C-alpha cells in the first residue's frame, strides 16, 4: 500500500473519527451520534442530477429513518458554499417525482481536502480520483460500522434497500436472529444454527419450539410478527 492510501474501514471496525464543517454546523464524528444509528453517505458532486435525486429522496425519508433511531449525514468533496447553494436550489427550484420544496435538514459535510473521504475509502481511483463514489456506511449506536454499500457514480441508490438493511440489522440485534434473503418485517427470521446434532434432530422432528421450522439441520426459521418487530425497533 502506498503511503497516502489509508486502509479502508471494514464491517466490525470502529467508525474512524473526524471533526468537520457541515451545512448544520461543526460535527465531531461519531461521538456526536453516540446512542443513535447513523448513515454516513457520500455523493460525487453537488449540482449533479443523480445526486440531486438521491438527496431529495433521503430528505423526504429523513423522518422515517429518525423513527428507527437513525440519523443521516452526507458528504462530498465540495465546499460549504457549494453545498448551501445546491441545497437552496433543490428547495426552491426542483420538483421531481412528486417531491418539491424539499429541505435537506441533515448535515452535509464539506470535505475539500478529501480527508474524511480518504479515511472512509470513499475515493476509489479506478472510478474517480477527484470525487467520492456513492458510499453508504451504517454505523450503530456504539460507533461500530455494521454494513457498507458502494455504488458507482452512474447509479443512484435504492433507498428501500438502505432502510430494509437498517431494520434487518436492528431486528437481528434485538432478537438474536439473522434475516434471510429479501427479508421484510413480518417474514420469518433465521434462528441460530443448533449447536448439537441432538438439538437439530429435535428441531427437525418439531419437538423444540412449535413455531420453529427447519429446512435442514443448518437452516431453521421462526416467525416474528411484524407488529413485534415494529414495536421493538420503531417503538410503534
Instruction: Please confirm, yes or no, whether 51 is among the known catalytic residues.
Output: yes
**Residue 45 or 199: which CB sits closer to ligand BEZ?**
45
Smallest gap from residue 128 Cβ to ligand BEZ (A): 7
Question: 84 in the Ramachandran plot: left (φ > 0), alpha (ψ -120 to 50) or beta?
Answer: alpha
Write the CA distances from 120 to 9, 32, 65, 82, integer angstroms. Answer: 6, 18, 22, 22
Smallest gap from residue 42 Cβ to ligand BEZ (A): 11
Interface with ligand BEZ by CB under 6 A: which residues?
Answer: 44-45, 48-51, 153-154
**Residue 44 or 107: which CB sits closer to ligand BEZ?**
44
**Residue 51 or 224: which CB sits closer to ligand BEZ?**
51
Smallest gap from residue 99 Cβ to ligand BEZ (A): 16
Dmax (CA) for the chain in angstroms is 65
Q: 176, 202, 206: which is closest to 191 by C-alpha?
A: 176
**Taken in order 106, 17, 121, 174, is the CA torsion positive or negative?**
negative
What is the rounded CA–CA span in Å between residue 23 and residue 106? 8
Smallest gap from residue 48 Cβ to ligand BEZ (A): 3
Angle at which helices 49-67 and 159-175 pack, to 10 degrees?
30
**Residue 16 or 121: which CB sits closer to ligand BEZ?**
121
Choice among 51, 70, 214, 220 that is catalytic:
51
Smallest gap from residue 234 Cβ to ligand BEZ (A): 31
CB 163 within 8 A of CB 204: no
**Residue 20 or 45: which CB sits closer to ligand BEZ?**
45
Q: Which residues of 71-80 are buried (b: 16+ CB within 10 A; e: fewer)?
A: bbbbbbbbee
What is the rounded CA–CA span in Å between residue 187 and residue 178? 12
What is the rounded CA–CA span in Å between residue 145 and residue 164? 17
Q: List, by residue number, the catalytic residues.
A: 51
Amino acid at each position: 500500500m502506498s503511503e497516502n492510501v489509508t486502509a479502508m474501514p471494514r464491517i466490525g471496525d470502529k467508525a474512524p473519527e473526524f471533526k468537520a464543517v457541515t451545512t448544520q454546523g461543526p460535527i465531531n464524528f461519531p461521538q456526536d451520534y453516540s446512542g443513535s444509528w447513523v448513515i454516513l453517505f457520500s455523493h460525487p458532486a453537488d449540482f449533479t442530477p443523480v445526486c440531486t435525486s438521491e438527496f431529495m429522496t433521503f430528505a423526504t425519508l429523513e423522518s422515517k429513518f429518525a423513527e428507527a433511531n437513525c440519523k443521516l449525514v452526507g458528504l462530498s468533496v465540495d465546499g460549504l458554499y457549494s453545498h448551501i447553494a445546491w441545497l437552496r436550489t433543490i428547495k426552491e427550484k426542483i420538483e421531481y417525482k412528486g417531491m418539491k420544496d424539499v429541505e435537506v435538514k441533515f448535515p452535509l459535510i464539506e470535505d475539500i481536502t478529501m480527508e474524511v473521504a480518504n479515511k472512509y475509502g470513499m475515493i476509489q481511483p479506478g472510478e474517480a480520483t477527484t470525487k467520492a463514489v456513492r458510499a453508504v456506511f451504517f454505523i450503530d449506536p456504539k460507533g461500530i460500522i455494521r454494513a457498507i454499500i458502494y455504488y458507482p457514480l452512474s447509479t443512484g441508490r435504492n433507498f428501500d434497500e438502505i432502510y430494509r438493511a437498517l431494520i434487518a440489522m436492528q431486528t437481528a440485534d434485538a432478537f438474536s436472529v439473522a434475516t434471510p434473503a429479501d427479508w421484510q418485517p413480518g417474514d420469518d427470521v433465521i434462528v441460530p444454527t443448533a449447536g448439537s446434532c441432538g438439538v437439530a434432530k429435535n428441531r427437525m422432528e418439531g419437538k423444540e419450539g412449535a413455531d420453529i421450522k427447519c429446512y435442514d439441520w443448518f437452516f431453521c426459521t421462526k416467525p416474528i410478527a411484524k407488529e413485534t418487530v415494529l414495536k421493538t425497533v420503531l417503538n410503534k
